[in-house]
Amino acid sequence: MVNKEVVLTYEGLKKLEQELEFLKTVKRREVAERIKQALSFGDISENSEYDEAKNEQAHVEGRIVQLETMLKHAKVIDEDEVKTDVVSVGSKVNILDMEFDEEVEYYIVGSTEADPSKYKISNESPVGRALLGKAKDTIVEVQVPDGVIKFKILDIHK
């Protein structure tokens, strides 16, 4: 992860920056206050509140380092540069699932932003990888654990 480029949309970049700001300003203070309060209970050798607060502090600090590293290596996709002739990161793609005759729109994003429940799929996922670089009306076959699924690209837009 240290030197891996993190592909983000502008929306994804803002989301990570907001999370980092929240952790540095609000969450750090809350955890420090919990540690201070737990210390006031006395003996820390059997103080579960202290242990929990220290564990949370470690988690928060770890996430801050992770976010700073991701932001340091971020490559933001310029929406103006997203082409509509072939699928790329930043594209919205309407596809037809040929097995179930269902149309779905996916937003191709970097792995950091992927959220299948919101139809945001990673460029590194099997479906995302198969769609990248393909043009409208192309039929794409994707190897999945259950076999092979076929999609037809109906439209590519921003």
pTM score above 0.85? no
Q: Which two tokens stand for residue 30?
A: 């809350």
Q: Which two tokens stand for residue 113?
A: 């932003």
Integer Cα distance of 30 and 23 in angstroms: 10
Looking at per-residue pLDDT, the higher value among 48 and 3 belongs to: 48
Q: Are 113 and 154 in contact, with CB atoms under 8 Å apart?
A: no
Q: Which two tokens stand for residue 27?
A: 């969450």
**40-88, pLDDT tens digit by residue?**
877 777 778 889 999 999 999 999 999 999 999 999 988 888 888 999 9
User: Which domains are present in the chain?
Assistant: 6-76 (1.10.287.180), 79-157 (3.10.50.30)
Q: Residue 144's pLDDT band (boundaries 50, 70, 90)?
A: confident
Looking at per-residue pLDDT, the higher value among 115 and 2 belongs to: 115
